[in-house]
């Protein structure tokens, strides 16, 4: 299967370029928290994640965090889904987006959630859109 580089994948996703511009890099979602995940049989399913940039600065014994945002992933045409270990708190070690433009999969996008604690899994969808709301979640 042919996979694209992650930065170029964001160029193909509506809202992806804006997200890269906000963070200044491709986010790895390390230590991000899944706020909610709504699945719809028909229509758009959504995944909302709180993420930020971690700086090299330390204040009061903790790394300074900046550019907090709630990232909104919207999936249409989910073709395959595998999820496990949803919990009261769901912290990500990494979130990876792959794209398969060569037709090796029947859907172009695959989002993999690698857990630190809680939810893990994979979502394959025909369409993926990304948005964000700057700031910490309410």
pLDDT tens-digit map of 4-53: 456 788 998 999 999 999 999 899 899 999 999 999 989 999 999 999 99
Q: Residue 47: phi, psi to the nearest 5? A: -130, 125
**CA torsion angle 126 35 5 112 (round to 10):** -70
Segment 68-108, tens digit of pLDDT: 999 999 999 998 999 999 999 999 999 999 987 777 776 78
Q: Residue 1 above 50 pLDDT?
A: no
Phi-psi region of 136 (alpha: psi -120 to 50; beta: other; left: phi over 0): beta
pTM of the predicted model as reported, rounded to 2 decimal places: 0.90
């Amino acid at each position: 299967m042919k996979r694209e580089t992650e930065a170029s994948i964001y160029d193909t996703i509506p809202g992806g370029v804006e997200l890269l511009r906000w963070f200044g890099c491709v986010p790895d979602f390390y230590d991000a928290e899944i706020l909610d995940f709504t699945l719809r049989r028909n229509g758009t399913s959504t995944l909302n994640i709180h993420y930020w940039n971690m700086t090299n600065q330390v204040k009061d014994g903790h790394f300074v965090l900046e550019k907090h945002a709630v990232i909104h992933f919207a999936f249409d045409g989910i073709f395959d889904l595998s999820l496990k270990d949803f919990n009261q708190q769901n912290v990500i070690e990494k979130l990876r987006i792959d794209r398969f433009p060569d037709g090796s999969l029947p859907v172009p996008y695959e989002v993999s959630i690698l857990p630190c604690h809680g939810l893990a899994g994979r979502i394959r969808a025909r369409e993926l859109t990304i948005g964000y709301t700057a700031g910490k979640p309410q």
